[in-house]
């Protein structure tokens, strides 16, 4: 058996909820990982785990122009693909503002119910995250 080391790619995302729907963004086709797939506002970072909250806040503002305030961490979600291990820290919180997309990062957005969201091509481990939100009766 051959064991291949995986490159670790870390990121953080914001689970933005409104009236039993979740905000999902479609990744621009120019993105390195999962181009054209749906995910949460957020992004890749080299920060240490304790700084992931700040990354989720900053990336949410940059990608969709929303002010996001973290209430709590939903969890750390892991996903492996092509010799890369992705660690995505997902946060819940409050938000305000009007959505305006950063088009070089995000091509479109939408508000989705659980049933609608799980039918989309979701990046990383976001199907698991969406199912967890459903189990917690947040979605």
Q: Residue 49's pLDDT band (boundaries 50, 70, 90)?
A: low
The pLDDT value given to residue 82: 82
Tokens of residue 78, six digits: 């892991």
Residues with Cβ < 8 Å from 69, sequence gap 6 or more?
A: 57, 93, 94, 95
Q: What is the percentage of the chain residues whose pLDDT exceeds 90?
A: 77
Q: Residue 47's pLDDT band (boundaries 50, 70, 90)?
A: low
Q: Residue 3's pLDDT band (boundaries 50, 70, 90)?
A: very low
89, containing H or E segment: strand 84-96
User: Alpha helices of 1-139 — where are they, by DSSP H?
Assistant: 52-64, 114-117, 126-135
Question: Could you tell me which CATH number the domain at 7-135 has?
Answer: 3.90.79.10
pLDDT tens, position by position, 6-41 = 788 899 999 999 999 999 999 999 998 899 999 999
Q: How would you classify residue 42: left for phi > 0, otherwise alpha for psi between -120 and 50, otherwise beta? A: left
């Amino acid at each position: 058996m051959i064991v291949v080391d995986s490159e670790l790619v870390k990121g953080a995302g914001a689970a933005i909820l409104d009236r039993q729907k979740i905000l999902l963004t479609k990744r621009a086709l120019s993105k390195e990982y999962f181009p054209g797939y749906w995910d949460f506002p957020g992004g890749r970072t080299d920060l240490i785990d304790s700084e992931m909250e700040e990354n989720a806040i900053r990336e949410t503002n940059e990608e969709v122009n929303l002010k996001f305030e973290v209430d709590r961490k939903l969890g750390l979600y892991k996903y492996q693909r092509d010799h890369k291990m992705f660690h995505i820290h997902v946060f819940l919180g409050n938000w305000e503002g009007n959505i305006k997309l950063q088009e070089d990062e995000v091509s479109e957005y939408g508000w989705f119910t659980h049933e609608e969201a799980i039918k989309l091509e979701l990046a990383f481990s976001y199907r698991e995250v969406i199912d967890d939100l459903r189990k917690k009766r947040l979605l």
